[in-house]
A and B are shown apart, each in its own frame.
Chain A
Amino acid sequence: MSENMRLFGSGHGACPGCGLPIAVKSVLEATGPCFVANSTGCLEIISSQYGKSAWGVPYIHSVFENAAAVAAGIEAALKALGRKDEGPVVVFAGDGATADIGIGCLSGMFDRGHDVLYVCLDNEAYQNTGNQQSGLTPPGSSTTTTPAGKVLPGKVKAKKDMPAIALAHKARYVATASVAFPRDITRKVKRALEFEGPKYIQIHSVCVTGWGIDGKQAIPVARLAVETALYPLIEFEDGQLVRVRKIKDRKPVEEYLKPQRRFRHLFKHPKGKEVIAELQRVADENAKKFGLDA
């Protein structure tokens, strides 16, 4: 049994090829023994059934929208009881739990400056309940609540800019990462833990069922999100952009969209070209804003 298997174990119920366990074990590799607060969602369901827990760290799930507050409470208790040295406090929450229903609790946790690492596992929709759109679903994605139809090309609105929201709260360390680069996740978590106060890392995590890809495509597709600049990997320390993952020969967004069932309609829908152009504009803007092109 390797070290990280003692913190998160095999036998969990994730779909074959799911990105979440890759993200979780890469985070735990850096934290070591820690306290985990988890929102309701995919990760919770695959790992915390009574009598079948996959966790080797103290773990708590309360309700959908309060993981940031629960983590804040754990941190406060450890402080009051003189047990801060037991380990860091980490939140794992999905994109919907973070950007939609739980944003109030997250804002409060940031604002009060709790010493908590908040990890948003971004699989870009409510995947546990069957691919309903969230604030982090990208435009053009056909979800069960924003399906592509004769008129509409899937989700119309933009992906919410959570890192900017974290930065506006003066979170001490803010970064994005991807399951395509697990060692990068571990490095970023190690760096984050050097900061006392709130930290936010958003990890792009593949959902094979919701995105409509085969398990074998999971990592290549996640990599394409980074290589097209649709998912820029960026790192801020005390508000300053300190590092980005440079991209050599940035690829057109079509290469990322094509393999995924959630975007397939864009290539024949009357509004598809427009949406693809908009996604390319977002990618170009990311590349310019963060200086991604090598």
Chain B
Amino acid sequence: MGEKLRITLGAVSRPLESLKIKTGDWGAEYPVVIEENCKACGDCVVYCPDLCIELVETGEVDEKGRKKKVAKVNYDYCKGCGTCSVVCRHDAIKMEIKEIYKG
């Protein structure tokens, strides 16, 4: 006995169910944030087509007493397009080849 297929009225879908699709395994490359270069300008956040970069607090405080932030990539969804590394004006994101694609 298989499980019943649940279908909705007129194929209405629930919001944001795409989040269960982990697209992080699509690409051959992945971005690495060089935290000491990151100015938390947010460019990578704005450009990322996969909405998988956010600015997070480092726990440190800068010279003006503001909480330091840095770009953080959610690798569950990153497709490795490299847009973030291209738009970064501070050389704070470099692309690396995934281990399995090396050699």
Contacts and interface: CB of A to CB of B under 8 A. Distances in A.
A and B are partners in one complex rather than unrelated chains? yes
Interface of A: 2, 4-6, 8-14, 16-22, 25-26, 47-57, 182-183, 214-220
Contacts of B46: 22, 26, 182-183
Contacts of A26: 46
Contacts of A57: 15
Contacts of A49: 13
Nearest to A53: B13
A245 to B, nearest CB: 17
A220 B72 CA distance: 23
Contacts of B16: 6, 9, 53-56
B11 interface: yes
A55 B15 contact: yes
Interface string B15-35: 111111111001100000000
Given A26-B46, A219-B87, A48 B13 contact: yes
Interface in B27-85: 27, 45-52, 54, 74, 76-77, 79-83, 85
A49 B21 CA distance: 11
Query: Considering residues A14, A16, A214, which has the most beta carbons from chain B within 10 angstroms of its beta carbon?
Result: A16
Given A26-B46, A53-B13, A183-B46, A9 B18 contact: yes
A57 B55 CA distance: 23
Most buried by A among B14, B27, B50, B80: B50
B51 A9 contact: yes
Interface residues of B, number: 35
A53 B49 contact: no
Nearest to B82: A216
B18 A52 contact: yes
Given A47-B18, A219-B87, A11 B81 contact: no
Interface of B: 11, 13-23, 26-27, 45-52, 54, 74, 76-77, 79-83, 85-87, 95
Given A17-B82, A48-B13, A10 B26 contact: no
Contact of A21 (B26, B27, B51): B51
B93 to A, nearest CB: 12
B47 A182 contact: yes
A57 B46 CA distance: 19
B56 to A, nearest CB: 11
24 contacts: A5-B51, A6-B16, A8-B51, A9-B18, A10-B18, A10-B52, A10-B76, A10-B77, A11-B23, A12-B23, A16-B49, A16-B81, A17-B81, A17-B82, A22-B49, A48-B13, A49-B13, A50-B11, A52-B13, A55-B16, A215-B80, A215-B81, A216-B81, A218-B83
Most chain A CB within 10 A, of B14, B21, B51, B87, is at: B51
Which of A20, A54, A214 has most chain B Cβ within 10 Å? Answer: A54
A188 to B, nearest CB: 14
Contact of B21 (A2, A11, A16, A215): A11
A294 to B, nearest CB: 20
Contacts of B47: 22, 182, 219
B20 A18 contact: no
